[in-house]
Amino acid sequence: MRTGGRAILALTLLVCWSAEGQTAAADPVAECSNHLRAIDAAIKACAKANDGKPPAHLSDLHPKFLPDPAVLHCPADATPGEPFNQFFPPPWRLRDPKLPVSYLYLDSATPSPPLFMDLSPPGRLPASASVRERMERHRRNFGDSVPLLQCHHHPEFRLDLMRDGSLLQSRVPLFELDPRSYPFVLDRLAADVAAGAAAVAERWSMPATEDYLLDWIESDHPSAERDKLRSAADGLAGFADRLDPASKSAAWALAARFRVASGNYRDAHTAARRAEELLGGAKADLKMRHLVEVTRFEAGGRTGQPPVDAYLERETQRRHLPGISVAVVREGKPVYVKGFGYADLEHRVPATRDTVFRIASVTKMFVATALMMLVEEGKVALDEPVTKYLSDAPREWDGITVRHLVTHTSGLADVWDVPQQSRPAVLDGAAIVKTLAAVPPPYKPGERYEYNHGATLVGVVVERVSGKPFAQFLKERIFDPLGMKSTRVDDPRSVTPGRARNYAWDDAAGTWMNVEPLPWNISSLADGGVVSTAADLGKWDEALYGERLLKRATLAEMWRPMRLSDGSETGYGCGWQVGTFRGHRWVGHFGAGQTSAKVARFPDSKLAVIVLCNFDRGDAPRIADAIAAMYLPAESRQTEQP
């Protein structure tokens, strides 16, 4: 955010549609522009008053330089000290126009050609058409039946931003669009398919629609949605060959994907083969090759090896993944372990099963296991006040238990909510205790689930009770006994054989950029400081089937979802995410921040999927889910979720 001593900031727009209580703004584009001008003026005034230093938090702007809080439209429970964080934008929202845009993050912007996620047929407007012209065409084509969610949706999950009526490219990563928006697209498309080929040709670009819906189609669907997908697939297949040449193959591919999602695998494979034929067979891209292979696998009764290679080749290209390592473990034994892409782009070092990745918040599984070892030994009690183990914690924390900390229900603020000038330069455990002690807890213990630095404080408890540094405890009690030779608490200053470099993607330049390592005192924190490999994490999975680390009863306690004071469950146990996926119970964790990682265990099916990527927009959770779906028992894959 530094541009020659002054901050030139732009507003990111994120689709955030909600039907309840929304009223259409007269001109939301003009409203956005007016707010941008007010915010820009406040930023410049703030920088001028602080020797050119741009604001670090919204509280630096309001109220001194931005008196009108309506410009920010902060919800009542928003934190005014939220930082301008490039990884997890805070939810500052516009005044709910039906045209659903929200600004989330202020970021330096570089003008780029207007890009628009346009589901309408190409050629109807020139490439130089303004945002307003594109919006007006969208309204003519779709009315209010498809909310305007068309700020350009890049394959790697970025949205462009708008400023003064022009599109500028965003540098804010988004993991997915609001999934509530996709059914509106399906409803309108299904209606037009029922009306016939002319209606589809008039309103829809088949290639753009297939790209836009791809991730959503490959997710799980309730039965009513599957019926719509099945009907739309049959309609598309009925007239796909009558569409223009550019649309035929994409229409058949969309029909095939709809049929896979609705469980009609035999006809899905027929449609996929027709789409491949129209592309010229050998000219088919990775996306098409995967579609043909996955439909063949499903139509053939899931015999043979699942098409994981084809899927990962597609995703590596589609998401610009620099490198990725994947392991699939059945009953503690690896059935698939492989790397794709590069651990180091500059030196063309391939990613392999033994490439060392930062696993970020997946670390929390190890933190929780270390804590539960001390619980089994009678040295820690989950329901004792945390002040019993943290002597420097304030007495106001007496109502916070160790269980509250490890389940993210302590009510404490997060360290990143504290203004930067109030945070210590060295963020170790003791400094975090001191920093948070000076901030009034925003919630009562057990009242609310709020993902925060609780795991770091749990790491401090482990250190003080065991008398050993956290890294040493994990090495002696978990990593060495399991033979996890490449797994350790990170120190970016150390020489780590096989370590992957982390990368970011520059949308404007269309190229990779190196990411500087995190400072050593942040990279080694207990909430996200472990580095590991896909092969090592397979050993970790194997150990959890027995009692090498913890008793079965302790594992069950660790994987039991926390219940809040109002009786609701959180979907999070003691350091583990818990839930169901396509009817199967799963436990695990994902992590992000310079990297993307997920470990998903399905204990009842004795299956685990491990995905590690050296790119924070790699979307490891989605990739892990897609791979798990290939191995989970087919009869439960279509189970409707609550």
Q: What is the pLDDT of residues 453-511, one digit of tens each?
A: 788 899 999 999 999 999 999 999 999 999 999 999 988 788 889 999 999 887 667 78
Tokens coding 31: 């409203």
Question: What pLDDT shows up at residue 135?
Answer: 57
Q: Residue 322 pLDDT more than 90?
A: yes
Q: Which of 165-169, 444-448, 614-618 shows the lowest mean pLDDT across its residues?
A: 165-169
Phi, psi of 345 (to 5 degrees): -70, -40
Q: How do residues 55-105 score in pLDDT, each as one tens digit?
A: 655 566 667 887 765 554 433 233 333 332 222 222 222 222 222 222 222
CA-to-CA dists, residue 201 to 137, 150, 194, 206, 218, angstroms: 15, 19, 13, 9, 24
Pairing of strands 349-350, 161-163: unpaired
More confident call, 59 vs 152: 59
Under a CB-based contact definition with an 8 Å cutoff, are residues 3 and 76 in contact? Answer: no
CA atoms of 324 and 288, how far apart (whole Å): 21
Q: Residue 287 pLDDT more than 80?
A: yes
CATH of domain 333-636: 3.40.710.10
pLDDT range class, residue 422, cuts 50, 70, 90: low
Question: What pLDDT shows up at residue 69?
Answer: 54
Question: What pLDDT shows up at residue 627?
Answer: 96
Q: Residue 311 pLDDT more than 80?
A: yes
Q: Residue 609 pLDDT more than 70?
A: yes
Question: What pLDDT shows up at residue 513?
Answer: 87
Percent over 90 (pLDDT), the chain: 48
Question: What pLDDT shows up at residue 511?
Answer: 82
Question: What pLDDT shows up at residue 37?
Answer: 61
CA-to-CA dists, residue 265 to 22, 231, 238, 262, 409, angstroms: 40, 14, 17, 8, 44
Length of the chain in terms of residues written: 642
Under a CB-based contact definition with an 8 Å cutoff, are residues 341 and 326 in contact? Answer: no
Give the pLDDT mean for 19-45: 51
Under a CB-based contact definition with an 8 Å cutoff, are residues 134 and 196 in contact? Answer: no
φ/ψ bin of 571: left (φ > 0), alpha (ψ from -120 to 50), beta (otherwise): left
Phi, psi of 469 (to 5 degrees): -55, 145
pLDDT range class, residue 215, cuts 50, 70, 90: confident
Q: Tell me, what DSSP letter sits at residue 502? A: P
Under a CB-based contact definition with an 8 Å cutoff, are residues 253 and 210 in contact? Answer: yes
**H or E stretch at 621:** helix 620-631
Q: Residue 186 pLDDT more than 80?
A: yes
CA atoms of 293 and 265, how far apart (whole Å): 11
Pick from 206-210, 242-246, 601-605 the range whose average pLDDT is largest: 601-605
Q: Residue 451 pLDDT more than 90?
A: no
Q: How do residues 337-349 score in pLDDT, each as one tens digit?
A: 999 999 999 999 9
Please state the domain extents for the chain: 10-177, 211-304, 333-636
CB atoms within 10 A of CB 74: 18
Where does 19-172 show beta strands of DSSP type E? 101-107, 161-163, 166-168
Give the pLDDT mean for 389-405: 93
Question: What pLDDT shows up at residue 54?
Answer: 60
Ordered DSSP codes for 462-488: HHHHHTS-HHHHHIIIIITTTT-TT-E
Tokens coding 383: 């329901």
Q: Which of 502, 520, 507 has the alpha carbon at shortest distance from 593?
A: 502
Q: Tell me, what DSSP letter sits at residue 465? A: H
More confident call, 80 vs 241: 241
Ordered DSSP codes for 97-157: -SS-EEEEEEE---B----B---SPTTSS-TT--HHHHHHHHHHHHTTSS----B-B-TTS
CA atoms of 10 and 37, how far apart (whole Å): 9
Q: Residue 274 pLDDT more than 90?
A: yes
pLDDT range class, residue 44, cuts 50, 70, 90: confident
**H or E stretch at 9:** none
